[in-house]
Amino acid sequence: MDGMHGMGGMSPSPSSTNGTSGMIRHKMMMHMTFFWGTNAEVLFSHWPGKSTGMYVLALFFIFALSFLVEFLSHCRLVGPGSSDVAAGLLQTFLFAVRIGLAYMVMLAVMSFNGGVFLAAVAGHTLGFFIFGSRVFKKQEAVKESDLPPLTCC
């Protein structure tokens, strides 16, 4: 066994030099299991990097993104008197924003960092608690289903 659980091809290659310019390139190893630590790469190259402060900022950013996804999943921004075309365009725009944000959260969780995973789950949980649960809604505004559909707005 190669120590990589059968994933010998996933190991980082040693530093290599580029034949034309002689510059050294380093390849990062991608984690294939959850790990704990502040040295992570989330959404963008070299972000948050090795800085603990930037890692905490990344956790707050992921929390805010997932919270915003829940807000957009339960918002009612289309008024009852608006035209069908305007309402349809607004719903389509909100859907595009929500699905884009949801994919960004998914990509962040794919960093396999435990803190990022917990921040995403906490953001979705608090967002659902505030915007989707019965706690802050009037009784007549509560939906019949316990969980909202994935594409509601």
With cut-offs at 50, 70 and 90, classify the pLDDT of residue 31.
low
pLDDT at res. 90:
87
Average pLDDT of span 52-80: 91
Q: What is the mean pLDDT of the chain?
A: 78
pTM higher than 0.85: no
Cα separations in angstroms, 12 against 17, 41, 66: 15, 16, 32
